Structure 1
Amino acid sequence: MSIESRKFRDDINGLRAWAVIAVIFYHFGVYGFAGGFVGVDIFFAISGFLMTGIVVEGLERSKTSPFSVIEFYMARARRILPALIVLCAVLLALGWKALPPLDYKMLGTHSVAGVSFLSNMQFWREAGYFDTQSHEKWLLHTWSLAVEWQFYIILPLVLVAVWKWRPNRQAITLVMLTGLMVSLASSIVVTQTAPSAAFYLLPTRAWEMLAGGLVYLLANRLVITASTRTAFEIVGFALIIGSIVGFDSSSSWPGWRALVPVIGTSLILLAARSNSIWTGPTAIQWLGTRSYSLYLWHWPIVVALTYLDQQNNPTYILTGLVLTLVLGNISYHLVETPARRYLTNMSMRKNAAVLLSCAIAVTVAGLGVRLNQGVNGRLPAEVEAISLESKNKNPRRDECLLMTGVVSPSCTFGGSELQAIVLGDSHANAVVSAVVSAAPSSNSAIMEWTYSGCPTIQGVHHPVQRQCGEFVEWAIQKLKTIPSNIPVVIVNRYAQYAIGANENIGEDNIPQVYFSKPYQTSEPDFIDEYSRNLKDTACEIAKNHTVYLVRPIPEMGVDVPTRAARAALAGTQKPIYVSLADYNHRQAFIWKAQDAARDQCGVKILNPLPYLCSDGRCVGTKDNQPLYRDDDHLSESGNKVLVPMFSEIFGNKDITAPVAITNASLTH
């Protein structure tokens, strides 16, 4: 029996239908499917069951017909690659006329990651699955294919090695059970400490596939009555439905919670009930046979609704669901089935040549798009100009914005007479040129001390930027060597470190830093400690210098140039803004801490809101041009609206003896 000719089980096919329905309805935002993402966990368990069966049966026949790992890989490639390659090619072709450079560059990157089955690692490095930005990535859903493929690569190698050691199912069962326990324990721990890694990476997902594999190994050893099979199926579907209804995007995942749908799937696989009312109906079987193509095509349609800002429009959602069925069916009939039939009848060498050639073609196209920065010149000049505002950042950002280490490069801008020092994180780096523009003369100089992801607060501990606290201490000590008539302008994205980034769903109230001890949530004690240390740090610096604390820059929560370019391409000009009420709600404790510093030690406050906000809104664009280069950093053109605000520094400053910048004054 070949790898492709194993007995068809309509219960597994029906279970696939349940999984794909759950995922599709979840992504389209259908009410009642808040936990529909568990469909992927169902797919994982099914894959483990089927792949373990293929490998173990092949090993057991190896005396008469040697098991070929390469043939196993080629069978998986014939199943997965053709439809995936077509999807990537179609999206790249459509994107040529429909996507601004930044979006197109991202699609090129993700196409390469998709066909090379590395997309789970790519998306892990970018953002969490439940983040708002993820809904703008056309190939996000390929992460699960990457996890499965990586499992497919490792599984036969491990099982062949075990078979050589002990050629029996007991040894394989022991090894797979050990792997499951290690992977599950890792998943539970890592879900709490590094949730994005736990979600995307194989080591914390392998247990779900191993669970399915163990079901296969145990199924033939168990004698299960008809009534028990029925009970298993009912309980299994109860667990799956309970997961779909009971979990949502706020649930830590996978971790222990993923046990619920995986156990449910395992029970249904053990039940093995054909022609069941749960899995047997014609419509369910139809969906099951097309589940892979439906999965592939539904997500780009969801992203398209996001691009059109119609993700909550019932008419568009219904249209998207119908289109998913149509495209999934077309893909099944015109790509999946003929490709599998055609490739199966070819030699393995020709199989590899055809699939590899097609994959390389998509890879080359994707790399070309990426290396050419999304290929400028495809779209109207206005659209591309808006999109390219994302690159309009401090030209010396890489040189001056510290990413690691303790000592700042002490970059200076302008002339030779030091007028002010700008201290802070990447938000400070984003407005340095506005401070330079506000300086009183062409010979004025502004010095920059900035550290990415590091709030200017003494005693801070940052799990990622581990030298952040040392940098802050260095800056405070270094300022003591700078003449006292040089003011210090402090700019930080304070709220992010205390309560999480506003653009990432699920990160609210999760501190990114700590002081006396780590906190799991931004509880009142932590906020009090954070605010007190913010105030005390400003007052410590104010002992020797005039300090200007800049109120937090409004965060848009969306990538402004990207959104504005899409709107311009579609011929719409929908405003991009955050309401003043939302800004005040997020930043209230920061304002309170800054006010406390003003009242206690006389620091001065600079407020950007009069320049960025009006009529109850803080806007991301002005005259249809982006003020931001992303979701929270002002661009080099956008920061110029704050020049009048920064002019207050020099209007209030009594410069009796200009400080000339010399090598000695920059000695670290």
Structure 2
Amino acid sequence: MTSSARHAARRTAVPGDGPGDRRRPDIQGLRALAVGLVVVYHVWPGVLPGGFVGVDVFFVISGYLIIDSLTREVERRGTVDIPGFYVRRVRRLLPAASAAIVATVVLSLVVLEDSQLRRNLGDAIAASLQVANWRFALGPDAYAQATASVSPFQHFWSLAVEEQFYLVVPVVMIAVALLVRSSGLALLPTVATVLALLGAASLTLSVVLTSQAASIAYYSTVTRAWELLLGGLAALALRRLVLTRAASTSIGVVGVLLVLASATTMTTSMPFPGVLALVPVVGTILLLAAGTVERAGGVTVVLGVRPLTWLGDVSYSLYLWHWPIVVGALAVSGPTLGLLGGPVVIAASLIAAWASERFVERPFRRPTLAIPTPARRRQRRHVLLLGGAVTASVTAMGAIPLVVVEMQTSSVSTVASDHPGALALGGAPVPSGVPVAPDPRIALQDVPLVFRDGCISEDITTVDPGRDPRTCHYGDDGSTVQVVLVGDSHAAVLSTPLAALADQEHFEVTAYLRNGCPFTVRAPVGLGDCEAQNDRVLNLLTADPPDVVVVTSMTPFGYREALGWDWESFDAAVAGYTETVEILVDAAIPVVVVRDTPYMPFSPPDCVAAGRACSLTRSAAASQRDPLVEAALEVQGAVVADLTNHVCGPTSCDSVVGNVLVYRDNHLTDTYATTLSQALWTTVGPAIDA
């Protein structure tokens, strides 16, 4: 799978639903635009680097329709019929989603690699329970998975956001209705005020977390709610607005330009959602406003043409089915879809979407007949009970094989003498007939200490009175010897062996780490917020110098392959690292630069699970130049720890060394990293004593 396709899985969306569709064919066309951006981005990520903004378009549409519907219901009835609301949600969303989950579980069992099975089954359970967004946001290996083969369920995160929003917004509307009834306030201004306050709080939190905890900001319901709430505010504001045809045309053009500009210029390296998400959100609101016209013109007419409205009609099913088809096709065909594979995937997705909408969505979406109220209530109960039963069944379909996998893998334990790992390259005996550890099927979960305890998600350069003072601190907290570990997720790999050394040698380790953030004053293009955190780290280190700073980062080759990020040039990367190391050395801080481990151009767990012997030649590994090492060699006072001979043999870098699986993706497994402690100490120890 290409690096951009891997990262694309974090940028998907799900269409919403509401009663206003039939009155506004342009809204269906707008859904078609949104789903088109998402599909093209997933099939050909380089064509639309910001196609992930389709998520924002869908969220705004959903908020526009749902809040408008609920407000009108409060106007009519004085409250919200919550059972009726959820019956409509179950009938509209659950059947197609359940069918897609079941089919994707089968895909995971039959087509996808065994090394991904445990993760995929867990994702299936989260998807069926509508909590996929929190699994991806808070999972200890969330970032690691973004750089590995992505989950075929990852697109369910946005459906979870909407479903969680739907749990809250009817209750908010009932509370507003009670407030209006008891205080005599006007309904619409009160609703608008409450939505605006909640939206402002959500947007503020989104901006803050985007710079401090990007994964949580992207997936969290509370940091995405403002987009749905702004859509709702737009619905209220546009109720009595009737534009002239000229005004509609002008607003529509601006709106579509904002959405398309976002899709063509934004990239995954930018801080998103945060403030940047306002661009596609405002564009979508303008497109919705353009449709409030007696005689449509311009963009509104185009969005209302039948091919686009048909695509809007099937957009929910197209969203559900296209991503598993993309993931399955890549698993079969190789790292890219190519010019021919892309159209085949799109055609297959459209066929699946048509069949799903025609034979799954439509029969369950039909409105309740005009039957007596008692019978209608019984029918609602039956629908809700059936929805619960379907959810339980789909959850079980993922849980049962997951239990089997857990039972099969839990019996494989690591014994030091049986699994020498890196020590085998130094001559330690390697027993034969010993199972590889970790089992390739659970390799993605073999993450370092800072992932397991949540440190990787903490920015301890900022003040948080509620934070445990020991967060990201390891070893002997009473020691006067202070070692600091800085860098990205490849530096995080060193946290387990360094923490073990700290306990053994009685020093303290402090970790200043951030995923996808190399420790340099000149980060890859678009990662300005990364530079800001690095500046704070440098200020802390120079103000209170530690005894040693240990730093490593993924090479530019790795960043290009894994995430599609890059510096302006290799020389620019060297210059940025040189300036960073010089700042530390000028503050009389010894610096140990650890050469990055070779990037494997394949998935080692999948290779081993398939029974193949997969390796990278030492010459190919040497070609992956490390600008941080080249910078360290230019600065007197910095030393280089090269662990390559403890990862690779004389001629090749193998997937299994000393009965231990070396890589979980482009990161070392924690099991293997643990065996590097003594090799790391040969450089860190003298630096401490110097």
**Alignment counterpart, residue 147 of structure 1, candidates 161, 174, 180:** 161
**Alignment counterpart, residue 274 of structure 2, candidates 255, 258, 271:** 255
- Structure 2 partner of 1:291: 315
In the alignment, the residues of structure 2 paired with residue 362 and residue 316 of structure 1 have an alpha-carbon distance, to the nearest angstrom, of 31
* Structure 2 counterpart of 1:505, one-letter code: L
**Alignment counterpart, residue 495 of structure 1, candidates 534, 553, 576:** 553
Q: Is the 8 A contact 2:30 2:312 kept in 1?
A: yes
Q: Is the 8 A contact 1:181 1:207 kept in 2?
A: yes
In the alignment, the residues of structure 2 paired with residue 98 and residue 576 of structure 1 have an alpha-carbon distance, to the nearest angstrom, of 29
1:440-459 matches, within 5 Å, as 453=511
- Structure 2 partner of 1:666: none
In the alignment, the residues of structure 1 paired with residue 158 and residue 511 of structure 2 have an alpha-carbon distance, to the nearest angstrom, of 30
Q: Is 2:626 aligned against 1:581?
A: no
- Structure 2 partner of 1:628: 663
* Structure 1 counterpart of 2:605, one-letter code: T
* Structure 2 counterpart of 1:528, one-letter code: E
Alignment CA distance shift 1:42-1:475 (3 Å): closer
In the alignment, the residues of structure 1 paired with residue 398 and residue 506 of structure 2 have an alpha-carbon distance, to the nearest angstrom, of 38
Q: Is 2:148 aligned against 1:106?
A: no
In the alignment, the residues of structure 2 paired with residue 348 and residue 449 of structure 1 have an alpha-carbon distance, to the nearest angstrom, of 64
- Structure 2 partner of 1:564: 607
Q: Is 2:24 aligned against 1:14?
A: no
**Alignment counterpart, residue 33 of structure 1, candidates 13, 37, 48:** 48
Residue 354 of structure 1 deviates from its aligned partner by 1.1
Q: Is 2:327 aligned against 1:303?
A: yes
Q: Is 2:395 aligned against 1:363?
A: yes
In the alignment, the residues of structure 2 paired with residue 393 and residue 143 of structure 1 have an alpha-carbon distance, to the nearest angstrom, of 22
1:166-181 matches, within 5 Å, as 166=180, 168-181=187-200
In the alignment, the residues of structure 1 paired with residue 239 and residue 495 of structure 2 have an alpha-carbon distance, to the nearest angstrom, of 64
Residue 175 of structure 1 deviates from its aligned partner by 1.7
- Structure 1 vs Structure 2 CA RMSD: 5.0
Q: Is the 8 A contact 1:184 1:207 kept in 2?
A: yes
Alignment CA distance shift 1:197-1:370 (3 Å): same
**Alignment counterpart, residue 596 of structure 1, candidates 616, 630, 637:** 637
Residue 215 of structure 1 deviates from its aligned partner by 1.8
Q: Is the 8 A contact 2:61 2:231 kept in 1?
A: yes
Q: Is the 8 A contact 2:126 2:135 kept in 1?
A: yes
In the alignment, the residues of structure 2 paired with residue 311 and residue 343 of structure 1 have an alpha-carbon distance, to the nearest angstrom, of 46
In the alignment, the residues of structure 2 paired with residue 339 and residue 323 of structure 1 have an alpha-carbon distance, to the nearest angstrom, of 23
In the alignment, the residues of structure 1 paired with residue 445 and residue 246 of structure 2 have an alpha-carbon distance, to the nearest angstrom, of 65
In the alignment, the residues of structure 2 paired with residue 190 and residue 391 of structure 1 have an alpha-carbon distance, to the nearest angstrom, of 25
Alignment CA distance shift 1:619-1:121 (3 Å): same
Residue 125 of structure 1 deviates from its aligned partner by 1.7
Residue 343 of structure 1 deviates from its aligned partner by 8.2
Residue 314 of structure 1 deviates from its aligned partner by 2.3
Alignment CA distance shift 1:268-1:117 (3 Å): same
Alignment CA distance shift 1:407-1:16 (3 Å): closer
Q: For structure 1, which segment, 32-41 or 446-455, has the greater mean C-alpha deviation from structure 2 after superposition? A: 446-455
Q: Is the 8 A contact 1:19 1:43 kept in 2?
A: yes
- Structure 1 partner of 2:61: 46
Gap regions ≥5 residues in structure 1: 411-421, 436-444, 477-489, 510-520, 539-548, 599-604, 654-668
1:178-327 matches, within 5 Å, as 178-272=197-291, 276-308=300-332, 309-311=334-336, 313-327=338-352
Q: Is 2:178 aligned against 1:164?
A: yes
In the alignment, the residues of structure 1 paired with residue 168 and residue 61 of structure 2 have an alpha-carbon distance, to the nearest angstrom, of 17
In the alignment, the residues of structure 1 paired with residue 348 and residue 213 of structure 2 have an alpha-carbon distance, to the nearest angstrom, of 36
1:461-476 matches, within 5 Å, as none
Q: Is the 8 A contact 1:14 1:280 kept in 2?
A: yes
**Alignment counterpart, residue 67 of structure 1, candidates 52, 56, 80:** 80
Residue 496 of structure 1 deviates from its aligned partner by 6.6
Residue 427 of structure 1 deviates from its aligned partner by 4.9
Alignment CA distance shift 1:42-1:606 (3 Å): closer
TM-score by length of 2: 0.69
Q: For structure 1, which segment, 215-224 or 614-623, has the greater mean C-alpha deviation from structure 2 after superposition? A: 614-623
Residue 561 of structure 1 deviates from its aligned partner by 3.9
List per-residue Cα deviations over 1:509-562 (Å, max 9, x = no partner).
8xxxxxxxxxxx9676534224556x8347xxxxxxxxxx78435053789543
Give the 3-state SS of the residue equivalent to 1:278 in structure 2: helix
In the alignment, the residues of structure 1 paired with residue 561 and residue 657 of structure 2 have an alpha-carbon distance, to the nearest angstrom, of 21
Q: Is the 8 A contact 2:35 2:54 kept in 1?
A: yes
In the alignment, the residues of structure 2 paired with residue 157 and residue 314 of structure 1 have an alpha-carbon distance, to the nearest angstrom, of 49
* Structure 1 counterpart of 2:345, one-letter code: G
* Structure 2 counterpart of 1:584, one-letter code: D
- Structure 2 partner of 1:609: 644
Alignment CA distance shift 1:12-1:629 (3 Å): closer
**Alignment counterpart, residue 81 of structure 1, candidates 94, 113, 121:** 94
List per-residue Cα deviations over 1:614-664 (Å, max 9, x = no partner).
899866557998433453335657987999x79999xxx9xxxxxxxxxxx
In the alignment, the residues of structure 1 paired with residue 617 and residue 156 of structure 2 have an alpha-carbon distance, to the nearest angstrom, of 30
Q: For structure 1, which segment, 353-362 or 27-36, has the greater mean C-alpha deviation from structure 2 after superposition? A: 27-36
- Structure 1 partner of 2:580: 526
List per-residue Cα deviations over 1:251-295 (Å, max 9, x = no partner).
321222222221221122122266944212222122110000111
Residue 249 of structure 1 deviates from its aligned partner by 1.9
Give the 3-state SS of the residue equivalent to 2:303 in structure 1: coil
Alignment CA distance shift 1:45-1:103 (3 Å): same
Q: Which has the larger radius of gyration?
A: 1
* Structure 1 counterpart of 2:136, one-letter code: F
Residue 429 of structure 1 deviates from its aligned partner by 7.1
List per-residue Cα deviations over 1:364-397 (Å, max 9, x = no partner).
33334444445649xxx999954466688999x9
* Structure 1 counterpart of 2:589, one-letter code: D
- Structure 2 partner of 1:353: 385
- Structure 1 partner of 2:129: 116
In the alignment, the residues of structure 1 paired with residue 261 and residue 634 of structure 2 have an alpha-carbon distance, to the nearest angstrom, of 44
Alignment CA distance shift 1:243-1:386 (3 Å): closer
* Structure 2 counterpart of 1:340, one-letter code: R
Give the 3-state SS of the residue equivalent to 1:536 in structure 2: coil
Q: Is the 8 A contact 2:125 2:395 kept in 1?
A: yes
List per-residue Cα deviations over 1:131-157 (Å, max 9, x = no partner).
843751211111111111122121121
- Structure 2 partner of 1:408: 475
Alignment CA distance shift 1:475-1:293 (3 Å): same
* Structure 1 counterpart of 2:304, one-letter code: G
In the alignment, the residues of structure 2 paired with residue 324 and residue 265 of structure 1 have an alpha-carbon distance, to the nearest angstrom, of 25
Alignment CA distance shift 1:153-1:423 (3 Å): closer
Q: For structure 1, which segment, 263-272 or 347-356, has the greater mean C-alpha deviation from structure 2 after superposition? A: 263-272
List per-residue Cα deviations over 1:63-114 (Å, max 9, x = no partner).
6xx6302211221122112111111111222322334454111112212221
List per-residue Cα deviations over 1:5-63 (Å, max 9, x = no partner).
97442111111000000111112225542211111111111001100121011111106
Residue 352 of structure 1 deviates from its aligned partner by 0.9
In the alignment, the residues of structure 2 paired with residue 453 and residue 69 of structure 1 have an alpha-carbon distance, to the nearest angstrom, of 48
- Structure 1 partner of 2:563: 505
Alignment CA distance shift 1:606-1:182 (3 Å): closer
In the alignment, the residues of structure 2 paired with residue 357 and residue 630 of structure 1 have an alpha-carbon distance, to the nearest angstrom, of 37
Q: Is 2:38 aligned against 1:23?
A: yes
Count residues in correspondence: 571
Q: Is the 8 A contact 2:497 2:674 kept in 1?
A: yes
In the alignment, the residues of structure 2 paired with residue 98 and residue 531 of structure 1 have an alpha-carbon distance, to the nearest angstrom, of 52
Gap regions ≥5 residues in structure 2: 1-17, 181-185, 370-375, 410-434, 457-469, 478-482, 486-490, 514-518, 520-531, 568-574
Alignment CA distance shift 1:294-1:390 (3 Å): closer
List per-residue Cα deviations over 1:388-442 (Å, max 9, x = no partner).
66688999x999x9985856379xxxxxxxxxxx99886557669x99xxxxxxx
Q: Is the 8 A contact 2:131 2:157 kept in 1?
A: yes
Residue 232 of structure 1 deviates from its aligned partner by 2.2
Q: Is the 8 A contact 1:555 1:632 kept in 2?
A: no
